[in-house]
Amino acid sequence: MPRVRVNGVPLHFQRTGAGEPLLLITGFTISSAVFEPVLDLYAERFEVITYDNRGSGRSGAPLRPTSMAELAADAAGLLDALDVESAHVCGLSMGGMIAQELAIRFPERVRGLVLGGTSPGGPRAARPALRELGALGAGAAGGWTDGERRWLGEWLFSEAFRRERPERVSELLRHFGRHRAPPQGVWSHWWASVYHDTTSRLKDIQAPTLVMHGERDAMAPIANARLLARQIPGAELCIVPGSGHAYLLERPELSRDLLCDWLDRRPPIAAGEPRGALAARAEPLTRALGLPIGAARTGASLAGLTLDKLRRRDRRVAPDR
């Protein structure tokens, strides 16, 4: 089992294929085994690097909490350990949150940036509707069946895909059930997600960015994709038709082709410019304080959102005075 020690934690990784490096970052508590059904597709063009985040899968799970800043530093450290100067980066779901932080904190490591089924976080991000949460929560109450989280299919795949290809759904769900995270990993990923908020910093992303989102995503509302595409300079929005949150697995060939077509329409993408010397020197400190800084950013976003609502209310009331 290939492992490398990064920032004091052993990380499981895998390299497949040849070509430009493509770093795939997986989501909340899920091991990189979820990418196995599509690795060969991407390996036809890229050297694909997959890994398990700290706190999940086959990687180490420290007892202390983590943050998106630390998870992003792990991604950069893994590239260092593998002697990869920079890579295209594709983050899915929580992996997209890590990818945002990686592009902001370590722009020199990122070529093209693909943000899939993800969110900028914070109070300005859209949440699933109560109706959707209720239905999904009712399914979750069934727990594990035959080693699969069958209820998870409602979060991940479109209704049509589940109805028309139930055997394929069951097969894919088995990958989500492999290498389950320990309790401390689940909690550390939870708090890292709660205090992820890049809304005010999306403008700092240098990398050419493709925001991909499943048209039928029940887990991450599509409004988040539009917000990311609007706030990241020059970003392009791509909706994968008919697919759910796990669009990469539900429509694998189409998803791969959309990503490759986006790259082919551009000149070769170089990595971004490093941040200034002061920001680079401060990075380890801000990383260590990732959770409290994230909480402060979330609080500032909430205050700004409240002020915006008050201003809009005052504008509506003003003509009647």
What tens digit of pLDDT does each residue of 17-41 get?
999 999 999 999 999 999 999 999 9
Task: Convert the pLDDT of each residue in 203-253 to its tens digit.
Answer: 999 999 999 999 999 889 999 999 999 999 999 999 999 999 999 999 999
- Going by pLDDT thresholds of 50, 70 and 90, the confidence category of residue 144 is very low
Mean pLDDT of 310-321: 68
Residue 192 has pLDDT above 60, yes or no: yes
Residue 132 has pLDDT above 50, yes or no: no
What's residue 131's pLDDT? 44
CA 56/CA 33 separation, integer angstroms: 11
What's residue 150's pLDDT? 59
CA 104/CA 26 separation, integer angstroms: 18
Q: How many domains does the chain have?
A: 1
What's residue 311's pLDDT? 77
Task: Convert the pLDDT of each residue in 66-103 to its tens digit.
Answer: 999 999 999 999 999 999 999 999 999 999 999 999 99
This prediction's pTM: 0.91
CA 122/CA 302 separation, integer angstroms: 8
Residue 182 has pLDDT above 90, yes or no: yes
Contacts of 11 (CB under 8 A, 6+ apart): 3, 4, 5, 51, 52, 53, 54, 59, 60, 74, 78
Mean pLDDT score across all residues of the chain: 90
- What does the block give as tokens for 180? 């389950």
Structural domain including 245 reads 3-320
Residue 314 has pLDDT above 70, yes or no: no
- Domain with residue 41: its CATH number is 3.40.50.1820
CB 35 within 8 A of CB 26: yes
